[in-house]
Amino acid sequence: MYYEIMDTSPERIFAFLPKLSLADKALINHACEFAKKAHEGQLRKSGEPYYNHVFATGINLAKLKMDADTIAAGIMHDVLEDTQVTEQEMTEAFGEHITKLVQGVTKLGKLRYSGLERHVESLRKFFVAAADDIRVVVIKLCDRLHNIQTLEYVDKEKQKRIALETIELHARLADRLGMGRLKAELEDAAFPYVYPEEYKKTVELFNSMQPISDDQLDKVVAKLQDDLSVFDVQIERIDSRIKHLYSLWKKLQRYGMDIDKIYDVIALRIIVDSVSDCYQALGVIHGLYRPIPGRFKDYIAIPKANGYKSLHTTIFTGDGATLEIQIRTKKMHEEAEFGIASHLSYKEIGKNLSEQELKRKTGWTKELLEWQKDVSHHAEFLKNLQADFFQNRVFVFTPKGDVIDLPEGSTPIDFAYALHSQIGERTAGAKVNGKLVPLDTKLNNRDIIEIDVKETAMPKRKWLDFTKTTLAKRKIRQYIRENGGFLDKFLTR
């Protein structure tokens, strides 16, 4: 079977990390030699050396700017599982920290969807690893990226299952961790295997459309550069991006597959020095071009659930075209591309990111572990996983302006329990944007929620019918279970 010969020299990894120290380079070199020797004689289904796969995992980690320890662990991630090397031998060669990362990946095993319920225990292991050290998840995602990019060599009957798992689990995890580039690469590689007809249709629509021309784009960029400099906006650079195919298909579904209703197939990204430059640039752009009503989004003031920050606006260029423009700082851009990976180097923690901030960004993994302890049915576990952690989010405010992040479809009861279980239990009513509303009202982005608390109030069984979050449902059930006899007598009066 033919395969492309891969250059596996460590210099390819170093090229993505120009600031690597000599000690870090030596560590990665050592990991490459160790893994190559351990996997000697092993072949992939393509016929290529197995080492090519683990080296490609190291390349993917380097593209995310991960630290040398994590890259070394990624290069050796299959050594303990697929070779004769022991944990003791690896610890002696690389120390406990790197060995622990490799062990974490090994313990995940081979995740499978064969019917969505049979392998929930494997999913539980995944989140245990995530809560223990999120680097393990990043290694696993980079491993999966290369696997899905070489899926053509896998048996036909397995291709769809592996690709579906990639979209439903791995890409969702990458998204939840804010790793936009990795999420898109996983989805696009899996797309043709999971939805082949939809993939073909999307490619046809993409090829048939007539977005803004290169000349029009160059004209807009030149004008923006001139006028932004006049207003002293410090521009790092202006890039363009083309929307990924899977993302385009998902958006087309919302608009009845009408390509003419999609405005962001091509977008400009303006990278500036500071937050104030972002808003200054927005004012300049709206002064130059007429914005399309309803297309402005401020993700700086209200970031997405995964931490994404940027200003988005869509303009009429004046010559028949429309164009989305995204404005963000260099730090925002790095976080949008690499997500949590941009913070995970042990050298960065304590320097550019506190331990507390890292825990906040990854705290949802521990929250997931907490509620999954009370879930006994596999189907319920998967349903709650999709509802609480992998679906669209809404951002609402307390009266003091604190932002609360909830799943789409949440109600004031979910909001109350997100604040504190005692507030949830004593909820008597709610106001949304200053108006009294029923407790089953669905919350929208930017709503300001005020909970009316009374000592005589208590959870009611009917709340379970319209609460969205697993936390709220669990606390309500727990309260009813502990006070069931009294509540039944009280509620039947």
81 counts as catalytic: yes
Question: What residue spans of 7-152 are helical by DSSP H?
Answer: 11-14, 22-38, 51-63, 68-75, 79-82, 87-94, 96-108, 120-132, 134-149
Q: How far apart are CA 438 and CA 425, in angstroms?
A: 16
Closest CA to 142 of 65, 204, 218, 216: 65
Q: Which pair of structure tokens corresponds to residue 70?
A: 């994590």
Confirm whether 175 is a catalytic residue. no
**Long-range CB contacts (within 8 A, 24+) of 436-444:** 437/412, 439/411, 439/412, 439/413, 439/463, 439/466, 440/411, 440/465, 440/466, 441/411, 441/412, 442/409, 442/410, 442/411, 443/394, 443/396, 443/406, 443/410, 443/411, 443/412, 443/414, 443/415, 444/394, 444/396
**CB environment 379-406: b (16+ within 10 A), e (fewer):** eebbebbebbbeeebbbbbeeeeeebbb
Catalytic residue among 11, 67, 82, 273: 82
Identified catalytic residue from 4, 11, 40, 81: 81
What is the CA 289 to chain-centroid distance, rounded?
Answer: 33
Q: Which residues are known to be catalytic?
A: 81-82
